[in-house]
C-alpha cells in the first residue's frame, strides 16, 4: 500500500505500508523515528500526551476529549472484567490518566508510564498515582509486581515490539493479564478511507496489525491469547449527509463481521 496522507495536520505526507513475507506484519515506510531514544524525543515534545485526551497550550484538557477518553477507559475495564477485577494495574502510555482514574474507581491499585512530561504530570495530579515520565523500556520497575498491564493505542508506536513484550512479561505476575488495543489494518473502514484512514497515521505509527498478525506476535512471545475482537470506528464521529450514513453503515458492518476499526487483545503471561 502506498499513498499520501492528509490527516493529523499532514498535507500530502508520502508513505508506504510494507508487509513481511514471513509473518505478515505490516510496517510504515519511512518510519517516523529511528530507535528508542529518537522515539522518546519525538513523543516528549509538544503539549499533548495522547490521541485520546489532548492537552491544549494552557495545560487544560478539552472536556469532550476527556469525556471520550473516560468512555473508552470504561470499555477497556469491561473487556478485562471477565479475567480480572482488582489488583495492581500498570497503564503504559497512560496520557493524562483516564484509564488510571477509571481503574481506581473499580478498585485497582494503579501506576502509569507516559513519555510526555505535561501529560504525565497531569495524570499524577489527577489520580495521585505514581506515573513515571519516560518509556517502559527505560524505566526501572519491580519485576513480577503487576496483575494487569495495558497498552491502548500504544503498541503501534513501539520501536521493538518483541523486546517490549519480554519486558512486560518480566513485570507481570505469573498468569498476569496483558491488554493491547491497536488500529485494525484489516478493518472495513481502512478499506473505505484507503490512504487517509485515521488508523494509518504514518507520521506517528510504526506498525499496522491485523487479528492474525497480532495474535501470532503475542503467542510467539510466550503469552496465551484469551480473547481477541474488533469493534467500532476510530473516528467516533461519522459526519453528516450521505457520506456520514455510509461511514456509519460500514462501521456497523465491520463490528458485525469482526472487521471493526479497533482491535483489542487480552493475553495471559506464563504461570
Q: Which of 6-20, 29-43, 196-210, 241-255 has the highest mean pLDDT?
A: 196-210
Q: What is the pLDDT of residue 234?
A: 59
CA–CA gap between residue 211 and residue 221 (Å, rounded) = 16
Is it the case that residue 39 has pLDDT exceeding 80? no
Cα→Cα distances 65→74, 82, 168, Å: 14, 28, 28
C-alpha–C-alpha distance, residues 167 and 40, integer Å? 17
Domains (ranges, CATH) in the chain?
18-268 (3.40.50.150)
Contact 112, 129 (CB under 8 A): yes
- What pLDDT is stored for residue 118 in this prediction? 87
Distance in angstroms (rounded) separating the CA atoms of residues 263 and 62: 26
What pLDDT score does 57 carry?
Answer: 43
Q: How many angstroms separate the CA atoms of 36 and 160, rounded? A: 8
pLDDT digits (tens, 9 = 90+) for 90-120: 999 999 999 999 999 999 999 999 998 888 9
Q: What's the average model confidence in pLDDT over 247-263? A: 77
The residue with greater pLDDT, 9 or 224, is: 224
Beta bridge pairs of residue 28: 17
Tell me what pLDDT residue 10 has.
Answer: 67
Percent of the chain topping pLDDT 90: 52
Give the model's pLDDT for residue 200. Answer: 85
Residue 189 has pLDDT above 50, yes or no: yes
The mean per-residue pLDDT over the stretch 52-78 comes to 73
- The predicted-structure confidence for 122-168, as pLDDT tens digits, reads as follows 999 999 999 999 889 888 899 999 999 999 999 999 999 999 999 99
Average pLDDT over residues 21-26: 91
Say what the pTM is.
Answer: 0.89
In this prediction, residue 226 carries a pLDDT of: 97
pLDDT computed for residue 201 by the predictor: 85
Q: Per residue, what are the HEC states of 131-199?
A: EEECCCCCCCCCCCCEEEEEEECCHHHCCCHHHHHHHHHHHEEEEEEEEEEEEECCCHHHHHHHHHCCC
The DSSP bridge partners found for residue 112 are: 91, 131
Nearest to 234 by CA among 264, 211, 267: 264
Residue 258 has pLDDT above 60, yes or no: yes
41: pLDDT confidence band, cut at 50, 70 and 90?
confident
161-171 helix and 211-220 helix, angle to the nearest 10 degrees: 60
pLDDT (0 to 100) of residue 48: 40
Amino acid at each position: 500500500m502506498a499513498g499520501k496522507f492528509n490527516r493529523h495536520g499532514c498535507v500530502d505526507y508520502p508513505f508506504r505500508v510494507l508487509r513481511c513475507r514471513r509473518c505478515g506484519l505490516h510496517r510504515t515506510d519511512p518510519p517516523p523515528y529511528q530507535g528508542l531514544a529518537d522515539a522518546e524525543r519525538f513523543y516528549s515534545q509538544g503539549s499533548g500526551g495522547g490521541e485520546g485526551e489532548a492537552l491544549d497550550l494552557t495545560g487544560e484538557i478539552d472536556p469532550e476529549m476527556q469525556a471520550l477518553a473516560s468512555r473508552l477507559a470504561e470499555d477497556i475495564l469491561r473487556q478485562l472484567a471477565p479475567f480480572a477485577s482488582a489488583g495492581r494495574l500498570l497503564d503504559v502510555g497512560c496520557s493524562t490518566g483516564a484509564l488510571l482514574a477509571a481503574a481506581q474507581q473499580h478498585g485497582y491499585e494503579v501506576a502509569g508510564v507516559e513519555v510526555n512530561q505535561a501529560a504525565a504530570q497531569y495524570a499524577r495530579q489527577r489520580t495521585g498515582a505514581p506515573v513515571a515520565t519516560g518509556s517502559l523500556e527505560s524505566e526501572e520497575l519491580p519485576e513480577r509486581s503487576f496483575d494487569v498491564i495495558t497498552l491502548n493505542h500504544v503498541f503501534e508506536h513501539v520501536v521493538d515490539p518483541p523486546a517490549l513484550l519480554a519486558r512486560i512479561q518480566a513485570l507481570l505476575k505469573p498468569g498476569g493479564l496483558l491488554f493491547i488495543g491497536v488500529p485494525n489494518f484489516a478493518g472495513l473502514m481502512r478499506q473505505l478511507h484507503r490512504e487517509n484512514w485515521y488508523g494509518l497515521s504514518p507520521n506517528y505509527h510504526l506498525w499496522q496489525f491485523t487479528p492474525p498478525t497480532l495474535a501470532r506476535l503475542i503467542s510467539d512471545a510466550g503469552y496465551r491469547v484469551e480473547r481477541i475482537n474488533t469493534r467500532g470506528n476510530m473516528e467516533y464521529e461519522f459526519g453528516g449527509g450521505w457520506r456520514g450514513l455510509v461511514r456509519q453503515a460500514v462501521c456497523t458492518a465491520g463490528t458485525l463481521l469482526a472487521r471493526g476499526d479497533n482491535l483489542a487483545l487480552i493475553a495471559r503471561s506464563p504461570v
